[in-house]
Amino acid sequence: MSEALLLSLIQKLDINYQENIEINEGVKVAMERVIKEMRVIVEIVRDKKLEEGRSLNFLVSDLVDMADDAIDHFKQHGSYSWNYESIHSWMGEIKKQMLTLGDDDESNIRSLENVDDEYPLVGLEEDLEMLLRKRIIGGEGFFSWAVVIKGMSGIGKTTLAREIYNHPTVRKHFETRAWVSNSTYFTTLKELLINLIQQLEDPLNLHASSLLENMDNRSLRDMLHQHLQGKRYLIVLDDLPKQMRLKFLETLPKCIRSRLLLTSHTTHVDIHLYDENVYKMNPLDSKKSWQLFLKTINHGNKLKGEHKFPKSLEYMGKLMLRKCGGLPLAIKEVGKQLAEKKVSGESEWEQLLESVDFGSTLKLLEPFYHKLDPKLRSCFLSMAFFKENTTLRAEKLKQIWNVVGVAQEYICESYLDGLINESVIDVKDKSTEYHINVVLHMLSIQKAEEEFSFEILRNNGNNRPSESPRDHRVIICSRDKFNYSTDQDKHLVSLFFHGGGYFDANPSYWNSFELLKILDLEDFGLKILPETIGALMKLRYLGLRNNYIKDLPQSLRCLKELEVLDIALNFMVEVPDIVWEMDSLCHLYMSDVICRKPLKIDALTFLETLTYISVDNWRYGIWGLKKLKFLKKLGIEGLDRNSDVGKLFGSLANLEYLNHLILRGYRFRSMACLDDIGILHKVHTLKLDGLIARLPTNLPPKLESLTLIDSCLDEDPMPLLGTLLNLRYLKLRNAYTGQQIVILHDSFPCLGVLCIEELWNLRNVQSGKDAMHWLEKLEIHDCPYLDTLPETNMWVLLKEIKMVTTKSIATKMRNSEYLISNTETVNINPMS
């Protein structure tokens, strides 16, 4: 029966393909892939000799539904390949499930998910109150119908959704409710539909399961719609696979008081939402983490009286909790692990804290790793290269991925977006800096050691290189003598050093790395770079940022394949006249360097990034600049009143692809008038770092991101900046000395993020009507006298306020009714 249905389905798809043979190439290829995959599935059914059971019938029903939907979509909308591509993705998941089926394995079909939890809600009370008030009970209109709770696995999405589902106000508000979860294993669309109907159906008229199972998916969708018509309902879809076809949701009745609530670590392909419909969950802070830990460790009957966690070890316990990264899953697992031990005194507690094992937590997070798109898994594994809790720069990540072969440079940006979308990394600063949770970082190390030919060595003699050759290695150095072996070094592709800079290997050590492409010593505290570094002939990435290096060896000229050289934040490092010979360089990062001769930068014809070069070293010759046809990001330092900025901007206008410009002056010397900067029509990111007498009256017209640092302006910059039509990000740090900021009516039409820091005299911010209408995030730090903000109901999309101020002002702001009631995340803390 199933095989016959599938063959009939293939015939129908073939006919549709033949009738539309003249369609565009993208759709043609997508249709061919779907048909090919369908034939593979037929062979699986045939080879495994699967009997006609519920599991197989459910999977086949989904395939029939998808194929019919694809054909209907093509007839209605014509040449669009995305529908076939999403179908192909879901077919891959169905194929995996078929490969695991046994003879009518009824255990694969699941009944209503049990949403009870043995631990009380801790640390999520504010999230619960906000969602109920603004999204579930509050909030009206068509666009409020669907809400997504998003965040990494283990952060409490299901716990929060459960509290909403069972809340007394919710029970009273909604006429009918249903919950479907995929917390443990795969769910078919047909199973989901049957499950919903059984929960929403009047118990007195409940259809027999066998009757529902014999219906096709379209009939089930129509029945579900009929049950919900005219009712105020709440449907929770918990942790469903992102590839699952949820097109049926489009046909559900969308009463303004009804709600669809989804929990997910990613964005579902069939749920198209405005950003304001996504509620992003964040890790618990230290205070809430400690509360959850205590409740967990004191839960149950093993800890009584004197056996409870001793108050004297609170500090040590909080230090241990830092390794949990505010992740409720990790905190609970650690708490349960300690609670299961029988302890009789403080010394035993101390030993337990020192030996906490995160193995069970990582085991629980493994499904999160396996759910990642295969293309993103290698990117996730590469996170093991970096230090715990470090800042991940977008440029560095993309360059490492490109050199290692994880992703080609032209698609690295989409991989970054993918990791953010999958809740692997969080954006730290305007999409150029990222952070990975410490527990996920542990998981990346574990999986990299298993799957990525990766190892971590410590120079304390407690471990030695793996017996099998490795491609990637991290060496963690301490003050102990560095014991090293070169037996397998010739296989290494990447080598990262972490630690305190003590590294006593002989210079000949570098001769053994025949295939090394990446050498990263960032933040290592290195003082001397040996001349033998030139032996690394295959090196493509050399990271020396933030060290104590005084001069670069002449042997660097031998690194003919080097693409990235990062020597930034090495104060007054001397750069010999060799850089121009490294003609493969694409990215060169410097700051405060000494150059005895002008750098022949125009010889680097592949250069894309150059930060920073002294304005005195910048060559103004137009013919030479035309050779820099790929330069996109440029930082120029050393500007003062005597700098010929008119000539500078005239030369920069000849750089065809320049879109990111940084200008840096001296600390106590003002830069020249920058009015001519407006001729740089293609610049969309601008950073001005240093004193300026006034803002340029003519800024680049396509400006999207602007940062002003230490500008110390006397005049309020907001009236002028508010006229920039494309500005999306604005950061002011010590940029204005006045007491009041005025945001004019209808100004900043596209601004999404505003950061205000170190405006020491600022007392109030005023805003006109409809100003900053699209503002989502407001950050205020070190403005000790600022005590007046515009009412946040003027900024209707504002999601987050972060503020560090005085204790009295922090208390005043936290007690502000309009601030708390109209903003999702309010994080206001007193200055330390």
Q: What pLDDT is recorded for position 621?
A: 43
Categorize the per-residue pLDDT at 18 as very low, low, confident or very high, splitting at 50, 70 and 90.
confident
What is this structure's pTM? 0.88
Instruction: Give me the residues paired with residue 588 across strands.
Output: 565, 610
Q: What pLDDT, on a 0 to 100 scale, did the predictor assign at position 242?
A: 75
| Mean pLDDT value across residues 798-811 | 83
pLDDT of residue 399 exceeding 60, the answer is yes
Per residue in 327-361, pLDDT (tens digit) is 999 999 998 888 877 666 677 777 878 888 899 99
Question: What pLDDT was estimated at residue 67?
Answer: 76
Which pLDDT score is estimated for 23? 64
pLDDT at 186: 53
pLDDT of 103 above 50: no
Strand pairing category for 753-757 and 777-781:
parallel
Higher pLDDT, 816 or 798: 798
**Whole-angstrom Cα distance, residue 400 to residue 472?**
12
Angle at 535 between CA 529 and CA 541, to 5 degrees: 70
The per-residue pLDDT for range 484-521, each reduced to its tens digit, is 665 667 889 999 999 876 776 777 888 888 899 999 99
Amino acid code (one letter) for 210: S
Which has the minimum average pLDDT: 589-598, 641-650, 723-732? 589-598
**What phi, psi does 576 have (nearest 5°)?**
-70, 165
User: What SS3 class is residue 447?
Assistant: helix
Give the separation between CA 107 and CA 89, rounded to whole angstroms.
25
Residue 82 has pLDDT above 70, yes or no: no
User: Is residue 207 over pLDDT 80?
Assistant: no
Q: CA-CA-CA-CA torsion for 642, 646, 647, 653, nearest 10 degrees?
A: 140
* pLDDT tens digits, 144-168: 788 899 999 999 999 999 999 999 9
Answer whether residue 711 shows pLDDT above 70.
yes
Residue 73 DSSP SS3: helix
Grade residue 115 by pLDDT with cuts at 50, 70 and 90: very low
From 470-474, 691-695, 818-822, the region with the lowest mean pLDDT:
818-822
pLDDT of residue 622: 46
How does the average pLDDT of the chain come out, rounded?
Answer: 84
- Alpha-carbon span 94 to 431, nearest angstrom: 35
CA distances (Å), 418 to each of 151, 372, 380, 409, in order? 14, 9, 11, 15
pLDDT for 111: 37
Taking residue 114's Cβ as centre, other Cβ atoms within 10 Å add up to: 9
Res 303: pLDDT: 47
What is residue 206's predicted lDDT score, i.e. its pLDDT? 55
Q: Which residue has the higher pLDDT, 320 or 102?
A: 320
pLDDT tens, residue by residue, 536-593: 999 999 999 999 999 999 999 999 999 999 999 998 899 988 888 898 999 999 998 8
pLDDT for residue 128 is more than 70: yes
* pLDDT tens-digit series, residues 668-683: 889 999 999 999 999 9
Q: What is the DSSP letter of 615?
A: T
Q: What per-residue confidence (pLDDT) applies to 13?
A: 77
